[in-house]
Amino acid sequence: MRLSPAILAALATAAASGALAAEGDAKRGEALFERCAACHQIGAGAADRSGPALNGIVGKAAAATDGFRYSTALRRLAEEGLVWNSETLDAFLADPRGYVRGTRMSFRGITEAQDRADLIAFLMAADTRDAASGFDVAPETLAIRGDAAYGEYLAGECTACHSSGGDIPRISGMDRDTIVVELHAYRAGAREHQVMQLVTARLGDEEIAALAAYFGALE
């Protein structure tokens, strides 16, 4: 199932140079997201922290994440029909406490319009990253207990890309089941990404389980 070293090297270079990634602004936005990350998570496996997880936020109704305790102020605006799109996000991020008077988000805001645009581009791009959420893997497939040692052996094919940072998501320490679901989603074509579809096309269920066991157990 292994890809040749030459193909891997070419793919890794392409991925790192951004040729396979979204536009550059989203990349800048990802770096700017540092300012949000103390309170918000985004991407596969994101959970609510002091702020709600932001997966799929662009195009979503405000205050619509189940189980998160929003301020009365934001819930009221949501009842009036507030939906997050690039315009409303821009206004909110410029001045959170002016746009939603009484918000629980204690964040001063972002003065530079370009910074806000880059952040919003990142929030949009991150949506496609989470495309697999909701993809169904049969319980018996999810229950396969992977052999972490075999996974470590197979992982040589992954670390060419997944240890280089940049646009490539970190998979070490990711939730085991999430890794299984994401890999099956790429293999089935339910999650779009040329390289990952190519990589997973060669993996069997046992191999996916082994890789998830290995990466899931890392720090």
Chain residues binding ligand HEC by CB under 6 A are: 8, 11-12, 15, 35-36, 38-40, 43-44, 50-52, 54, 57, 62-65, 70-71, 73-74, 84, 89, 93, 100, 103-107, 110, 119, 129, 157-158, 160-162, 168-169, 171, 179, 182-183, 193, 195-196, 199, 211
Write down the least CB distance from residue 183 to ligand HEC, Å: 6
Write down the least CB distance from residue 55 to ligand HEC, Å: 10
Q: Which of 27, 129 has the CB closer to ligand HEC?
A: 129
Which residues face 61 on adjacent strands?
Answer: 83
Q: Which of 143, 204 has the CB closer to ligand HEC?
A: 204
Write down the least CB distance from residue 140 to ligand HEC, Å: 20
Write down the least CB distance from residue 103 to ligand HEC, Å: 4
Contacts for 197-204 with beta carbons within 8 Å, 24 or more apart?
A: 198/3, 198/11, 199/3, 199/157, 199/158, 202/1, 202/2, 202/3, 203/1, 204/1
Angle between helices 5-16 and 194-201 (to 10 degrees): 160
Q: Which of 18, 5, 11, 4 is nearest to 166 (CA)?
A: 18
Q: Which of 2, 143 has the CB closer to ligand HEC?
A: 2
Write down the least CB distance from residue 113 to ligand HEC, Å: 13
Q: Which of 51, 146 has the CB closer to ligand HEC?
A: 51
Angle between helices 113-129 and 86-94 (to 10 degrees): 130
What is the Cα–Cα distance from 202 to 151, expressed in whole angstroms? 14
Q: Which of 143, 201 has the CB closer to ligand HEC?
A: 201
What is the Cα–Cα distance from 93 to 109, expressed in whole angstroms? 5
